[in-house]
């Protein structure tokens, strides 16, 4: 008898699915905030899924985690205090702590169970969460940011898609609070979805950030397991422009995607993406 095959499909749009063969369902839970699953896939290794959407996989996590971390951290000349909003898998914290000048990296995650499952089943990604420079705070990022002023050099918004508790992380009032939460020369970056499928979202976020921050830039990267593969990041900065960075001064750190030559190239946008943020 032929062996039964198991497949997981993320419904990326009402008309499109992304399907992977799975060898094992390692863990599932219904948390207070979302459905959580850790799957063993043939193609990408272990995969974290929240509410049916792929968050990260062992094979391609470096693309996303390096892109969202090193662009802001190499744009700020001296990032000492950094916060991650969301990011419960710990991948962004791991990348932040590759920067020696960072004294403290805070993880502000609403769902404790994402952190616990990642620590247990995705140690390659969550490995830095117990570092003495890392501090985990379990709370809503919207509340945290609005209650703390003038505190961080860099804030990285590593959120789920804009559904459930993450809806407010894509709203104007949140970006205003992020501005206040940053020091006077601070900057922030947020993951802002696919330029193929989420054009209205990118447009709205870009214009909201532009109305608050003196410098607003969009950059792109390639993440195989995210919808369309092409992914956008929106950066808002009070003082430092990623396009003015002297790339000859960027330190070489251990990365697989990011490098100094890419730093500015990531901001060169295809024409259809330039049109979105016009
Ligand atoms: N890289 C992933 C992506 O782009 O799909 C996101 C990874 S990370 C697991 C996203 C985290 O954001 C989730 O663990 C979720 O619990 C958290 N989150 C969602 N809304 C939040 C909020 N309001 N405050 C703090 N964390 C939040």
Q: Could you report the per-residue pLDDT of 238-252, keeping only the tens digit for each?
A: 999 999 999 999 999
pLDDT (tens, 9 = 90+) of the chain, 278 residues, equals: 778 899 999 999 999 999 999 999 999 999 999 999 999 999 999 999 999 999 999 999 999 999 999 999 999 999 999 999 999 999 999 999 999 999 999 999 999 999 999 999 999 999 999 999 999 999 999 999 999 999 999 999 999 999 999 999 999 999 999 999 999 999 999 999 999 999 999 999 999 999 999 999 999 999 999 999 999 999 999 999 999 999 999 999 999 999 999 999 999 999 999 999 99
Q: 221 a known binding residue?
A: no
Q: Can you give the pLDDT at residue 1?
A: 74
Residue-level pLDDT at 205: 98
**In what side-by-side order are the strands of the sheet with 230-237?**
134-138, 104-109, 81-86, 152-158, 182-191, 230-237, 215-222
Question: What does the pLDDT look like over 257-273, one tens digit per residue?
Answer: 999 999 999 999 999 99
How remote is the C-alpha of 16 from its chain's centroid? 23
90 lines ligand 1 (CB under 6 A): no
pLDDT at 181: 98
What is the C-alpha separation between 221 and 235, in angstroms, rounded?
Answer: 14
Q: Residue 11, annotated ligand binder?
A: no
pLDDT of residue 2: 79
At 89 the pLDDT is: 98
**228 annotated binding-site participant:** no
On whether the CB atoms of residues 188 and 208 are closer than 8 A, the answer is no
Ligand 1 centre from 246 Cα, in Å?
A: 32
d(CA 57, CA 48): 6
Phi–psi pair at 94, nearest 5 degrees: -60, -45
Q: Is the CB of 57 under 6 A from ligand 1?
A: no
Can you give the pLDDT at residue 74? 98
Q: In this structure, which residue's CA is closest to atom 18 in ligand 1?
A: 86
For residues 203-219, one letter each, b for 16 or more C-beta atoms within 10 angstroms of the residue's C-beta and e for the rest, the string is eebbebbbebbebbbbb
Which pTM was predicted? 0.98
Catalytic residues, by residue number, are 158
């Amino acid at each position: 008898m032929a062996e039964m095959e198991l497949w997981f499909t993320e419904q990326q749009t009402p008309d499109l699915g992304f399907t992977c063969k799975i060898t094992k369902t390692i863990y599932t839970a219904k948390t207070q905030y979302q459905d959580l699953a850790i799957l063993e896939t043939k193609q990408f290794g272990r995969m974290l899924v929240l509410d049916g959407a792929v968050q990260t996989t062992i094979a391609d996590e470096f693309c996303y985690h390096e892109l969202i971390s090193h662009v802001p951290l190499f744009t700020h000349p001296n990032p000492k205090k950094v916060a991650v909003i969301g990011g419960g898998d710990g991948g962004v914290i791991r990348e932040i702590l590759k920067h020696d000048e960072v004294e403290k990296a805070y993880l502000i995650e609403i769902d404790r169970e994402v952190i616990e499952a990642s620590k247990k089943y995705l140690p390659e990604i969550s490995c830095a969460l117990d570092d003495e420079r890392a501090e985990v705070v379990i709370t809503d990022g919207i509340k945290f940011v609005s209650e703390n002023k003038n505190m961080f050099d860099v804030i990285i918004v590593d959120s789920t898609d804009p559904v459930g508790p993450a809806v407010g992380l894509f709203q104007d009032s949140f970006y205003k609070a992020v501005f206040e939460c940053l020091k006077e020369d601070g900057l922030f970056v947020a993951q802002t979805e696919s330029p193929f499928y989420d054009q209205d979202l990118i447009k709205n976020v870009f214009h909201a950030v532009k109305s608050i921050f003196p410098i607003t830039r969009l950059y792109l990267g390639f993440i195989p397991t995210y919808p369309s593969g092409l992914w956008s990041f929106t950066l808002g900065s009070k003082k430092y422009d990623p396009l003015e960075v002297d790339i000859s001064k960027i330190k070489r750190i251990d990365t697989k995607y990011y490098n100094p030559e890419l730093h500015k190239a990531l901001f060169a946008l295809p024409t259809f993406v330039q049109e979105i943020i016009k």
